[in-house]
Amino acid sequence: MKMNKKLLLLLVPLLLLPLLSFGYAHFTDKVVKKYRVHVGSLEVEFIGIHVDACRMPDVDNDGEIFGDELVITTYENPEDCTWYIYITADPITGGFYLNTTMWLHNSGKLPFELRWETMWDGPKDYFIDTDVVNPDWTNAFDPPKPGYSVFGGANPLPMPPWSFAMDVYRWHLGDDGVYRRTGPFTPTQVDYKPCDYLEIKQHINFKQPDPEAGVGEDWQKDWQCKFIRLWVEFTAQDVYWDFSSNLVGEWPDEEGLPAKPPLEEPSPP
């Protein structure tokens, strides 16, 4: 039986290739260790804020308070990656209270911890109207001076007549696909994982001061027709874990070689 010579010539080089490759690899060898890293992103997304309860006068008697006497405006500054939530209550009287729920979302790829600081300043004569504020809002968000902490420092918020409270909760997605709530948490107490939601409840109350309660007889003269500002600043910081002594493969067990290091559980810094 005759074989096509042209086909035979084609088969021979193909059969030689695996032999040549094997022979080459047998006499030369190398180990290549490659690293692959992916730079994550930290992103806190403002979802919304809800007025749970409020007591304010309807000054112009138009039957509307939200959007009139009570105005909430939000703004994101892309240059410094900061969200601003600006709440204006104008005017208020003794008996005013405002309860809100704010939602944030970890929409990035990194877990983070949350710190916050509560400050205040006032009473002051000036007020920045959100209708005429500059587009960049830089003049509307100058933080209070140092020492004006709500809960301490040299100039704490007078309590009474004011009261202020805030609770921060975490909603974490379980393996069963259901979000569950835990908390409330203090600053940096818990890590907020990617896809976690943050529920932040705030309560502000201004009770009618009693001059006999030690607040001072001049409170109304000092505060009437003035403005007071409450400032809450949240800072998200990425978190990381330190770990070592994890092994892929085997550790050589020969006389004179160092012993395998003990396994250490991952731990925060």
- Tell me which residue range forms the domain holding 56: 44-238
Average pLDDT, the chain: 75
How many separate domains does the chain show? 1
Q: Which position has the higher pLDDT, 128 or 49?
A: 49
Question: Tell me: the pLDDT tens digits for 111-125?
Answer: 888 888 888 877 776
- Answer yes or no: is 21 within a domain: no
Q: Which position has the higher pLDDT, 129 or 245?
A: 245
What is the pTM assigned to this prediction? 0.73
DSSP class of 211: G
Residue 82: pLDDT band (50, 70, 90) is: confident
- Answer yes or no: is 173 within a domain: yes
- Answer yes or no: is 86 within a domain: yes
- Answer yes or no: is 24 within a domain: no
- Answer yes or no: is 77 within a domain: yes
- Answer yes or no: is 188 within a domain: yes
DSSP, collapsed to helix, strand or coil, labels residue 18 as helix
Tokens coding 220: 């109304």
- Answer yes or no: is 257 within a domain: no
Q: Could you tell me which of 170, 207, 175, 174 has the C-alpha nearest to residue 192? A: 170
In this prediction, residue 15 carries a pLDDT of 47
Cα separations (Å) of 213 from 28, 159, 160, 208, 210?
90, 11, 9, 11, 5
Question: Tell me: the pLDDT tens digits for 140-196?
Answer: 556 666 667 887 777 888 777 788 899 999 999 999 999 999 999 999 999 999 999
- Answer yes or no: is 251 within a domain: no
